[in-house]
Structure 1
Amino acid sequence: MAIYRQSLPQLQGDLFLGDGGLETILIFHKGFDLPCFASFPLVNDPRGRVILEEYYANYLAIAEQFNTGMILDSPTWRASQDWGDRLGHSASVLKDLNQQSIQLLEAIRSQWSHLQKPIVISGCLGPRGDGYQAEARMDVPTAAAYHRPQIETFAESNADLVSAYTLNYIDEALGVVLAAQNTGIPITISFTVETDGRLPSGETLEEAICTIDAATDSYTSYFSINCAHPSHFHSVLTREVSWVQRIRSIRANASRLSHAELDEATELDIGNPLELGQDYQALLATFRQINVLGGCCGTDPRHLQAIAAACASLWSA
């Protein structure tokens, strides 16, 4: 049974940490070849499973050090059917791997049950297409139908919620929310933005959040920004407006480079972990509703350590 599905503890305002850039760590630090940037097949690979367990343990240790809650996102960002087809996985195999991913997180949560704060299990999903480019867009019904099987699999599991990351245009995000709403599982939506703070589609964060909330009676538990550096979006956020208050989570890239520059890069840009922690602190000093902090591309435990060190004091002041 899902422990927190009926009452997500991160909505109460305590500090929660997430993990970092899973795929970039696996490729650049652990030497894995990840076709299609997909990490979910590793749950059925003995070495891969051990590496995943170690990966999550590193972040749980930081949560323990700073006495924060923890969001465990499953390694299933690419585990929807189009990507499964490219990797040679049938629908039934894909469903099993999604289920195994949640079961892995359940086992890890059990191993860390001594923590004082909650550990929340999130079923992670990603865009149907490229996370950096809003091409070959779906309309809302098509997006809902495409993402529904993965969302239903998470709903049948013991995941506490579904988290959709790196979405880059409104219609796909709205379809995801409608599929979750029809399934009855909580959902969070995370957009990526370009250096001007707009979605790759050209739509604004304000348009995206307001459109989705209006169409779904604000069903989304909260919104997030991921796969972009804080310098790319800080300037478009205004404390007084209600749509900004719906943003509760940040999972930033380590690098200040644009998406186009990152696509061309041949080496991993880890940025400066201490500066990234300071960037988070500056955001949170103004936007105190933001309480779920993780990392995206290029981040690793060094970055989350710096983020926690810079921000935890805001909850003890």
Structure 2
Amino acid sequence: MTKYRNRLPQLDGRLFLTDGGIETTLIFQDGLDLPYFAAFHLLREADGTAALADYFRRHAAIARANGAGFILESATWRASADWGARLGYSEAALDEANRKAIDMLHGLRGEFETAGSPMVISGCVGPRGDGYDPGAAMTPEQAQAYHARQIATFAATGADMVTAITMTNTPEAIGVTRAAQAAGMPVVISFTVETDGRLPTGEPLWDAIAAVDGATGDGPAYFMINCAHPSHFAGQLAEGEAWVGRIRGIRANASRCSHAELDQATELDSGDPVELGRLYRELRGRFGQINVLGGCCGTDHRHIEQICGHCKLAA
């Protein structure tokens, strides 16, 4: 079932897409109930499972139609122990939900993958705490222990890689990386940044990347930036800096609002898909290694279509 674990095709530099803001799309556009933003909770019912599959199909079809690769990112951002317990899941039930999420992606890969559009299955890991606020950070050892079970389930279910989305602090990112290394899984770390381009802890992005690489022997296959508008971090990226070369992916927000403003919002801010596509093209033009492109809060298939269309011009 594992297809690309030994060599991730996105490392060869071709354009790869991924999906948009899955939780905001399912809640605000599809009208679904996601307690704690837990998309995996939909897998407990046939209708919810079908809604998730339809969501991924919309995005995978864009990649196939444009001859781009695609990262199938599992709907498991909240499917770790603490969040599962809040939703009433036992350890065994949570393991089964993680397996079911990956099994769905195997089916979708069989449906959509072509020679021109390779599709990589990624097990999505979310933070133990909030995606905006680091709270009381774990030690790397505590983080490794916390995330190990979910990552081991992904490995056993045939995922190609692990992606840690909305990492807010370096100790947790180090722990996730070590857990993935122990499971023999390629791992990607995607950091959340604030409007100043720094992590929610205040740590500069370059320091966070250096800390994770230093503690794990350059463990991540690459790094990503997510859950911020490009205007929040583009100015922090400087040509020729070695740490910038470690960034290969972007999953930006549609909105220019801060995390605090988004937390208080009662309506979804979808921003301007065309403008977002242009900003991605500018980043790709400056940094050619950035080739894994998707969205975060407020984005949907319209934004991915614009990102793809604009970035094909910068390839």
TM-score interval, smaller chain: over 0.9
- Per the alignment, residue 102 of structure 1 pairs with 102
The aligned amino acid for 2:242 is S
User: Secondary structure at 2:243's aligned position in 1?
Assistant: helix
What does 1:21-36 correspond to in 2, within 5 Å?
21-36=21-36
* Contact 2:61–2:112, Cα closer than 8 Å, also in 1: no
CA distance in structure 1 between the partners assigned to 2:59 and 2:32 by the alignment: 20
The aligned amino acid for 1:260 is A
- Per the alignment, residue 133 of structure 1 pairs with 133
CA distance in structure 2 between the partners assigned to 1:283 and 1:113 by the alignment: 27
Indicate the percent of aligned positions where both proteins have the same amino acid.
Answer: 54
- Per the alignment, residue 200 of structure 2 pairs with 200
The aligned amino acid for 1:179 is A
RMSD: 0.8
- Change in CA separation of 1:50 and 1:115 when aligned onto 2, cut-off 3 Å: farther
Residue 214 (str. 1) matches residue 203 (str. 2): no
Q: TM-score, normalised by structure 2?
A: 0.99
The aligned amino acid for 2:180 is A
CA distance in structure 2 between the partners assigned to 1:290 and 1:235 by the alignment: 15
User: Secondary structure at 1:165's aligned position in 2?
Assistant: strand
* Contact 2:162–2:188, Cα closer than 8 Å, also in 1: yes
Could you tell me which runs of 5 or more consecutive residues in structure 1 were left unpaired when the two chains were aligned. none
Could you tell me which runs of 5 or more consecutive residues in structure 2 were left unpaired when the two chains were aligned. none
1:205-240 deviation per Cα after TM superposition (whole angstroms, max 9, x unaligned): 111110111111111000000111000001111111
What does 1:164-175 correspond to in 2, within 5 Å?
164-175=164-175
After TM superposition, give the deviation of residue 113 of structure 1 in Å: 3.3
- Per the alignment, residue 240 of structure 1 pairs with 240
What does 1:79-118 correspond to in 2, within 5 Å?
79-114=79-114, 116-118=116-118
The aligned amino acid for 1:170 is T
After TM superposition, give the deviation of residue 115 of structure 1 in Å: 5.5
The aligned amino acid for 1:133 is D
1:101-144 deviation per Cα after TM superposition (whole angstroms, max 9, x unaligned): 00000011111134522100000010000010111211110011
CA distance in structure 1 between the partners assigned to 2:260 and 2:17 by the alignment: 28
The aligned amino acid for 1:94 is L
* Contact 2:95–2:150, Cα closer than 8 Å, also in 1: yes
CA distance in structure 1 between the partners assigned to 2:32 and 2:106 by the alignment: 24
- Per the alignment, residue 153 of structure 2 pairs with 153
Select between 108-117 and 236-245 the one with higher mean Cα deviation: 108-117
- How many aligned positions are there? 315
* Contact 1:72–1:122, Cα closer than 8 Å, also in 2: yes
CA distance in structure 2 between the partners assigned to 1:46 and 1:5 by the alignment: 30
